[in-house]
């Protein structure tokens, strides 16, 4: 099923055209990598998909609903419950602990259930037990990133948008994050759209889109056909 469909999306900042007619569909349970040179518009596109940045033209549909036709309250609720976002610069709240940052989106979600169990699971899986009471300023880049990822997952969203989520992680932690994404995609049908330069993520993603010159092109490699040797 297409979870997200974007059609003819245009976005400019002042006179600069950033997105110049982007069309794409993204399916349930898949990991999509989004590449492109710095400044090409990857973060802008993620912001549009998340409903945070209104395009000048074009539509973004989430499970058949045009998100920019909704009122602000409905769109905010949709974002809170259905769309997790891992910001490139983390955007953690500085005067509450890592634990409180992770739980925060669940506190404003009246439909959230089993929050404490969920948060325990994320802390364990992302190996955050040792730092959970600390404030963001005292965390390393990798720790902040894992807290930001846990926060994006707390409400069990159907879609997770991640802006260079492994950029600050060492290889072992990067691999772990990717395998968590993979498990959630396979087991719970979560769609991941990941802006990244990470070769492993690009290689193992289900789809690969490349943003450049205002366009977003499907760059998924065509599987190489294996020619079986004729057996006699």
Ligand X SMILES: Nc1ncnc2c1ncn2[C@@H]1O[C@H](COP(=O)(O)OP(=O)(O)O)[C@@H](O)[C@H]1O
Among 42, 81, 118, 208, binds ligand X (CB under 6 A): 42
Segment contacting ligand X (CB under 6 A): 42-50, 68-76, 93-101, 138-146?
A: 42-50
24-63: contacts with Mg ion (CB under 5 A):
42-43
Nearest CA among 221, 222, 162 for reference residue 196: 162
Q: Is 184 helix (H, G, I), strand (E, B) or coil?
A: helix
Alpha carbon distance 155, 84 (integer Å): 8
Q: Is 166 in the site for ligand X (CB under 6 A)?
A: no
Q: Is 158 in the site for Mg ion (CB under 5 A)?
A: no
Among 6, 18, 126, 191, binds ligand X (CB under 6 A): 18
Cα 125 to its chain centre, rounded Å, is: 18
Alpha carbon distance 132, 130 (integer Å): 6
For tokens 């007619």, the residue is 21
44 or 101: CB nearest ligand X: 44
Alpha carbon distance 36, 122 (integer Å): 31
Q: Residue 181: CB partners within 8 Å, gap ≥ 6?
A: 31, 160, 190, 192, 194
Kindly determine how many residues on this chain lie close enough to bind Mg ion according to the rule CB under 5 A: 2
Q: Is 97 in the site for Mg ion (CB under 5 A)?
A: no
Segment contacting ligand X (CB under 6 A): 31-39, 90-98, 141-149, 182-190?
A: 31-39
Q: Is 54 in the site for ligand X (CB under 6 A)?
A: no
Q: Is 36 in the site for ligand X (CB under 6 A)?
A: yes
Q: Is 116 in the site for ligand X (CB under 6 A)?
A: no
Q: Is 118 helix (H, G, I), strand (E, B) or coil?
A: helix
Alpha carbon distance 102, 122 (integer Å): 9
Beta pairing partners, 57: 10
Q: How far is the CB of 73 from ligand X (least distance, A)?
A: 24
Q: Is 35 in the site for ligand X (CB under 6 A)?
A: no
Q: Which listed option, Mg ion, ligand X, none, makes contact with residue 55 (CB within 5 to 8 Å by class)?
A: none
Q: Which listed option, Mg ion, ligand X, none, makes contact with residue 84 (CB within 5 to 8 Å by class)?
A: none
Interface positions with Mg ion (CB under 5 A): 42-43
């Amino acid at each position: 099923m297409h979870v997200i469909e974007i059609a003819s999306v245009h976005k400019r900042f002042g006179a600069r055209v950033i997105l110049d007619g982007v069309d794409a569909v993204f399916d349930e349970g898949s990991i999509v990598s989004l590449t492109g040179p710095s400044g090409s518009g990857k973060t802008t596109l993620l912001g549009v998909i998340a409903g945070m940045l209104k395009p000048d033209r074009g539509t973004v549909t989430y499970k058949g609903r045009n998100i920019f036709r909704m009122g602000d309250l409905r769109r905010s609720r949709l974002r809170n419950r259905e769309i997790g976002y891992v910001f490139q610069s983390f955007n953690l709240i500085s005067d509450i602990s890592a634990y409180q940052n992770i739980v925060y989106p669940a506190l404003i979600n009246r439909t959230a259930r089993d929050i404490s169990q969920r948060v325990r699971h994320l802390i364990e899986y992302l190996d955050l037990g040792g730092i959970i009471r600390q404030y963001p300023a005292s965390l390393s880049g990798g720790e902040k990133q894992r807290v930001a990822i846990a926060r994006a997952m707390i409400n069990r969203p159907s879609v997770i948008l991640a802006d260079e989520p492994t950029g600050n992680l060492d290889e072992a932690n990067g691999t772990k994050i990717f395998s968590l994404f993979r498990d959630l995609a396979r087991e719970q049908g979560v769609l991941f759209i990941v802006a990244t330069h990470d070769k492993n993520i690009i290689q193992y993603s289900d789809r690969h889109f490349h943003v450049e010159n205002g366009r977003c092109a499907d760059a998924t490699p065509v599987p190489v056909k294996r020619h079986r040797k004729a057996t006699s």
